[in-house]
Amino acid sequence: MRKSAKRIGILTGGGDCPGLNAVIRAIVKTAENDYDIEVVGFLDGYEGLIENRFRTIRLEDVSGLLARGGTILGTSNRADPFNFPVLQGEDYVYLDRSLQAIRNLESLGLDALIAIGGDGTMAASARMLEKGLPVVGVPKTIDNDLWGTDITFGFDSALSTATEAIDKIHTTAQSHHRIMIVETMGRYAGWLALGAGLAGGGDIILIPEIPYDIDSVVDQVRSRNSLGKNFSIVVVGEGARPQGGDMVVKRVVETSPDAVRLGGISNQLAAQLEGLTNLECRVTILGHLLRGGTPTAFDRILATRFGMEAVHMVARGEIGQIVVLQGSDLGSVPIRDVAGKQRKVTPDHPWIKTARSLGICLGNPTNVPLEEYLRN
């Protein structure tokens, strides 16, 4: 039985990724078909809610969106409602615009907001919830680092892109007898580098959770050469760092809630390896390539399920929750439990165990158990 007509808002925050449009499509279709709910989309994440920039999205507007990358609503990773940058003269000042955002939602007669994003968006949403904003979350990030869900949509698509890139790097590595270093995104979590390294046949995988010992990396390269394998593939997450060292910061964006932009560890590693092995190194930084393109079939289905369930949660009055995937089943956890947490690779994760059994170097000495190495 259809419920009385309502209006809900949606926004896409943080970095873009494949599958965002699939979520928007699922929300609109479920809202209209199951509940006769009208959907209003805010442009450029929380920025659009603060500045009252929006558009109504109807069934005809989402036709053909399933396979499209990006987001028709636009997104922003600089729109913290509690620390919103406003240009005054030549300088930015940071203002609390949270109440303005809530007033805009109320003025449009919206019963709830579905916020689609990663940890930054969920952290802002948790604080907005405390201020009285009726919000439901949908987990999105290619980094797969959002706590509470086994996987986020966007990750599988980025993983496929990274794997395809490594596949192509293999042929030139073999032809020129080089060490080829492929750097992925992922920030402070190693899911993308670890998964792509496993799927792409990487010989060395370096992730933020396991600070690497450069001598162990060199030993792996030399061991391969002694066996007649005159090339090596190194997959490194942008947040990887040497033991006792720091992550490489590419730049700092003062107007962003997460100001630090990582990147460039692969160039530092290449210089070290060339000096220690006398082998030529080449670096490929995949960067924003991983955010683009059409979503994989897995991400299309996952994003669609997430979008559908988010609308059902709104209809059931489950405000303040974020939809998650646990195993193969959809569930939900409080947004406040997700905010400020990151899901990282653990030493006992099956992917880590697989890599070790395959003889892949993870940056730790082979004669020291990983758990002991990390303790020290």
Indicate which residues carry an active-site annotation.
143
- Cα of 354 vs its chain's centroid, Å: 23
The DSSP letter of residue 254 is T
Distance separating alpha carbons of residues 248 and 122, to the nearest angstrom: 26
Torsion sign over Cα 273, 275, 280, 281 = positive
Q: Please, which residues have CB within 8 angstroms of residue 357's CB and are 6 or more apart in sequence?
A: none
| DSSP secondary structure string for all residues of 279-309 | --EEEEE-GGGGG-SPPPHHHHHHHHHHHHH
Q: Give me the half-sphere count of Cα atoms (radius 13 Å) on the Cβ side of residue 192.
A: 35
| Structure token digits, residue 206 | 């370096």
By CB atoms closer than 10 A (0-12, 13-18, 19+), residue 53 is middle
Q: Which residues pair with 86 in a beta bridge?
A: 93
Helices marked H in 143-247: 155-176, 191-200, 214-226
Tokens linked to 163: 């794997």
CB 18 within 8 A of CB 155: no
Distance of CA 185 to the CA centre of its chain: 8
Residues facing residue 93 across a β-bridge: 86
Q: Within 10 A of 141 (CB to CB), how many other CB atoms are there?
A: 29
Cα(221)–Cα(276) distance, integer angstroms: 10
